[in-house]
Each structure stands twice: as structure tokens, then as C-alpha cells.
């Protein structure tokens, strides 16, 4: 018999990856302030996403989830956010055409501030300091003051999330989401590439748009052409912050974590008898779970029984992040376990987190080719096993950064220092993101 859940029941469980604050009273004071602040997202929006994700689970829609590895206070600006929103929309237009399915757009945005770390401490030139755990916890600068966890940062993260959501809502319903405009940006991209296949795909989209216009769709004030639904997500890592924003829905009941529409559990915090699973099982939001190379299928079934005992489609997204080699070996076994137990899940591919390495000149980077390889392996395996490859999960920014090597721009290790801005893991830049979407289209056409 499971113990009764409440939004603080996780506090009696073992917990990983949390900051150690000096002043517990200060933490409590901040928590009670956040508890009084308005929700960032609303239950009805979360239910709307859940319905769309149920379609993904049934093979009737595709999930595109992406954004920063770690949002930061210093890089926040309307222009940066607009550019990241833009690239997701551009990719979405290409993927809609490639899959002939609606693409559900979920940003790693408006709350992606807390980071799990493989080491609790960082040592540089003999100085040992607590690791950077994301701007919601401490500062990335390497000195004692910067690295000290400060609970006030939770309020700053809340405020920045509210500003971000305000902009995202405006972008999603304002002129920025106009499909013809989005397609024009893609045509501009294609003009710079040497890949004739991309041009073919872009021309196909142009023709489809012309056809729709000829049918009377796409004229001014047609909401399908002018607006998009855009949702937010982040890793539910810092549980006291998440609990403070967990509210009951006054209309239909149930508990919703109103910090984001979708939350996910990271690879390092998903032990069945620990706090993160306890917290997540009680909220109504759709839940992602990162699935690394060592995950076995019995564990996944136990996890689903805990998080989704009623087997509701769209509730669970399994986000595999294994690297293409491990994926070829492990994904078929996981898929078999899910099929044998008749579980309803979305399969999503994170091709980023198992493909990180240190370049010769000391940068944490990823290769565009390895990223593509993992995505292609993911699509092929699902095709062979007759299951639906439901989505992709990316670390990406609209800025022209040089953090991942490769792609048409031919970013090399010696270029990484040019514009390496990430606060945590290396992100695809806007061109690499659009190129990736075209590559997926090309792959789907020929496979």
C-alpha cells in the first residue's frame, strides 16, 4: 500500500542533487514568499498539453522539446528568447512537413535553472568550491561568494520565468508565429546551404503552403496560420521550489506543479524510493524521464507503475539518452518490455547527453554528426519494431554560438572559443538546429 501523497511528502525521502544552504530559516522565508505568488502556468493549459501528448503516444503527433541546457540570469533578453523561439518554430515547420503530423512544441524555457552535477565540488588551481548548480542555486563564477547557495535566487528564477512566459505567450499569438514568415526564414537558410536535398524539401513546403492558400486557408486572421501553442518544461530538480508552486485546481481538482506545463526527472535523480519520484507521482503534469544506457526494462516498468498506475497515454515520456551504439543494443529491449506490459508511453530521443566530450582545447562539446547518428538510430529501431518514434529533445539556442562542432558551418574545435556562451552543456546553434530538422526530413523520405 502506497503512503498518502501530499506536496511535501517527498521531504521524508532520501534526496539527491540538492544544494546545502547555510541558513535554513532564510530558505523557509523564501519558500513562504513563493507559495503566495501566482502560478506561472494554469491547470487548463497543462490539460491541453496532456491531450496533445496523448496524441503523440498514439502516433498522431510529434513532440519537439528544446532550449537551453541551463537558462541564466545574465543571458536573459527578449531578443535571445525570440531567436530561440524562432528556431524551434522553423524546425517545427520542417518536421510537420516531414512527418505529416502536428508538432507539439515544448521549450526547455521559463524555469530550466537547476542543474544536476556529477561532482559536488569543483577544484581549480588548488581551490575547492561547491559545484555550480544552476542560477536558481548559486553563481557560475569561481569564488567562495559566487558558489554559495543563496535561497533568494529562487525568487529571481521565478520572476525571470514569469517574464519569459509573458514573452512566449506574446510570440506564440503575435505575428512571429506566422507560418509563411517561418517558412521564409527556412528559405533564407536554404539559400546559404549547398545541399540540394534541403532545397527540394523547402520547395515542397512552399508548394504545400501555396496549395493551402489556394484552398482559402492561410488568409489573414486564420489562427492555424498565425498562432501556435507553445508549452514550457524544465527538470524538476529543486523540489522545494517545485513544491511551493504546486497548487490544486479549483475547477476540476488535482495537484498541478504550476512552475511549467511539463516536468522531467533527470538521469541522476530517478531512484524509485527517492524524493523526486515521490513528488512527481502526485502531480497531474505530463512527466518526462531521462533514460540512460544502463537502464533495464524491469526498472522502467516499476517506474511507470509508480508514476502512471492508470496507464494514461501522454502522462509519461521516456527520453532516451544513450549514444547511438548503446541505443542500438538497449532500446529494442526496453521497447519489448513496454510492449509486453502494454504500457502507453511516448518515446523521445535526447541525442545530446550521451554525446558530450572534452575537445583537445578544453571545451565541453558535442559533434553534430554523432547527434544525427543517434537520432537516425532511434528512428530506424522504431521502424524495425513497429513502434512510434514520438519526439526529440534538444539543447539548442537561437544564438549563433560555437558550442557544438560540425554541421554545414563546419565549426571546428579551434572555433569553439569564438562564441562559447553556455552556462552548462554545449547547445546546437540556430543553423545547426534547422539543418538537423532538414536532415531528419531527408532521412524520413529515404527510409
- Pairwise CA distance, residues 418 & 411, whole Å: 10
- DSSP 8-state code for residue 310: T
Q: Can you tell me which of 7, 47, 105, 290 binds ligand PEP, judged by CB under 6 A?
A: 290
User: What is the C-alpha to C-alpha distance for residues 145 and 130, in angstroms, rounded to an integer?
Assistant: 11
By beta carbon distance, the residue nearest ligand PEP is 266
40, 54, 57, 69: residue in contact with ligand PEP (rule CB under 6 A): 69
Q: What minimum distance in Å lies between the beta carbon of 322 and ligand PEP?
A: 10
Pairing of strands 316-320, 255-257: unpaired
- Partner whose binding site includes residue 403, from Co ion, ligand PEP, none (CB under 5 to 8 Å by kind): none
Q: Which one among 353, 382, 427, 439 touches ligand PEP, defined by CB under 6 A?
A: 353
Query: In the complex, what is the shortest distance from the CB of residue 283 to ligand PEP, in angstroms, rounded to a whole number?
Result: 19
C-alpha cell at 259: 512552475
User: How far is the C-alpha of 76 from the C-alpha of 378, rounded, in Å?
Assistant: 33
Do 52 and 286 form a contact (C-beta atoms < 8 A)? no
Cβ neighbors of 223 (< 8 A, separation 6 or more) are none
Residue 69 interacts with Co ion (CB under 5 A)?
yes
Q: Is 147 in the site for ligand PEP (CB under 6 A)?
A: no
Q: At what angle do helices 196-214 and 78-99 cross, to 10 degrees?
A: 80
Residues 160-189 binding ligand PEP (CB under 6 A) are none
d(CA 190, CA 178): 19
Q: Give the count of beta carbons closer than 10 Å to the beta carbon of residue 309.
A: 11
Q: Among 93, 63, 50, which residue's Cα sits nearest to residue 347?
A: 63
For 10-161, where are the E strands, in sequence order? 62-67, 103-108, 121-124, 127-130
The minimum distance between CB 73 and ligand PEP, in angstroms, equals 18
The answer to whether residue 321 forms part of the interface with ligand PEP (CB under 6 A) is: yes
- Per rule CB under 6 A, is residue 267 in the interface with ligand PEP? yes
Gap between the terminal Cα atoms of the chain: 47
Contact status: 257 vs Co ion (CB under 5 A): no
Give dist(CA 151, CA 281) in Å, integer: 26
Q: List binders of Co ion among 82-121 (CB under 5 A).
A: none
Residue 395 C-beta: closest distance to Co ion, Å? 5
Q: Would you say 52 or 290 has its CB closer to ligand PEP?
A: 290
266 in contact with ligand PEP (CB under 6 A): yes
Q: Which of 55, 139, 425, 435 binds Co ion (CB under 5 A)?
A: 425
Applying CB under 6 A, which part among 147-155, 215-223, 262-270, 374-382 lies near ligand PEP? 262-270
Please state the closest distance from residue 146 (CB atom) to ligand PEP, in A.
21
User: Which residues are at the interface with Co ion (CB under 5 A)?
Assistant: 69, 425
User: Which residues are at the interface with ligand PEP (CB under 6 A)?
Assistant: 69, 116, 266-268, 290, 321, 353, 425
Amino acid at each position: 500500500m502506497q503512503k498518502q501523497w501530499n506536496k511535501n511528502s517527498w521531504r521524508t525521502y532520501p534526496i539527491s542533487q540538492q544544494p546545502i544552504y547555510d541558513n535554513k530559516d532564510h530558505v523557509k522565508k523564501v519558500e513562504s514568499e513563493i507559495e503566495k505568488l501566482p502560478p506561472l502556468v494554469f491547470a487548463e493549459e497543462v490539460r491541453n498539453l496532456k491531450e496533445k501528448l496523448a496524441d503523440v503516444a498514439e502516433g498522431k503527433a510529434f513532440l519537439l522539446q528544446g532550449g537551453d541546457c541551463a537558462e541564466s540570469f545574465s543571458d536573459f533578453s527578449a531578443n535571445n528568447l525570440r531567436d530561440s523561439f524562432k528556431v524551434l518554430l522553423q524546425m517545427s515547420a520542417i518536421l510537420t512537413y516531414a512527418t505529416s503530423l502536428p508538432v507539439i512544441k515544448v521549450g526547455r524555457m521559463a524555469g530550466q535553472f537547476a542543474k544536476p552535477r556529477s561532482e559536488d565540488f569543483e577544484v581549480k588551481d588548488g581551490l575547492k568550491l561547491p559545484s555550480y548548480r544552476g542560477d536558481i542555486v548559486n553563481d557560475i563564477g569561481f569564488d567562495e561568494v559566487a558558489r554559495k547557495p543563496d535561497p533568494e535566487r529562487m525568487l529571481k528564477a521565478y520572476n525571470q520565468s514569469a517574464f519569459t512566459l509573458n514573452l512566449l505567450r506574446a510570440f506564440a499569438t503575435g505575428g512571429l508565429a506566422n507560418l509563411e514568415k517561418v517558412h521564409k526564414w527556412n528559405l533564407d537558410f536554404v539559400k546559404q546551404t549547398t545541399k540540394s536535398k534541403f532545397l527540394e524539401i523547402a520547395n515542397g513546403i512552399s508548394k504545400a503552403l501555396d496549395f493551402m492558400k489556394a484552398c482559402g486557408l492561410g488568409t489573414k486572421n486564420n489562427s492555424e496560420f498565425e498562432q501556435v501553442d507553445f508549452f514550457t518544461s524544465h527538470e524538476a530538480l529543486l523540489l522545494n521550489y517545485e513544491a511551493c508552486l504546486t497548487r490544486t485546481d479549483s475547477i476540476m481538482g488535482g495537484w498541478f506543479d504550476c512552475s511549467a506545463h511539463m516536468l522531467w526527472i533527470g538521469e541522476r535523480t530517478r531512484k524509485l524510493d527517492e524524493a523526486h519520484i515521490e513528488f512527481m507521482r502526485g502531480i497531474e503534469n505530463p512527466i518526462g524521464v531521462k533514460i540512460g544506457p544502463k537502464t533495464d526494462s524491469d526498472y522502467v516498468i516499476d517506474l511507470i507503475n509508480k508514476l502512471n498506475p492508470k496507464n494514461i497515454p501522454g502522462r509519461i515520456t521516456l527520453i532516451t539518452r544513450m549514444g547511438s551504439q548503446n541505443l542500438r543494443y538497449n532500446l529494442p529491449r526496453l521497447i519489448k518490455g513496454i510492449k509486453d506490459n502494454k504500457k502507453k508511453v511516448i518515446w523521445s530521443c535526447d541525442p545530446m547527453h550521451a554525446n558530450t566530450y572534452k575537445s583537445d582545447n578544453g571545451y565541453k562539446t558535442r559533434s553534430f554528426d554523432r547527434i544525427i547518428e543517434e537520432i537516425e538510430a532511434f528512428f530506424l529501431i522504431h521502424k524495425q519494431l513497429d513502434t512510434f518514434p514520438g519526439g526529440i529533445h534538444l539543447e539548442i539556442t537561437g544564438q549563433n554560438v560555437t558550442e557544438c562542432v560540425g554541421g554545414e558551418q563546419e565549426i571546428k574545435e579551434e572555433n569553439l572559443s569564438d562564441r562559447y556562451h553556455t552556462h552548462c552543456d554545449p547547445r546546437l546553434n540556430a543553423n545547426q538546429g534547422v539543418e538537423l530538422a532538414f536532415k531528419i526530413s531527408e532521412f524520413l523520405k529515404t527510409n
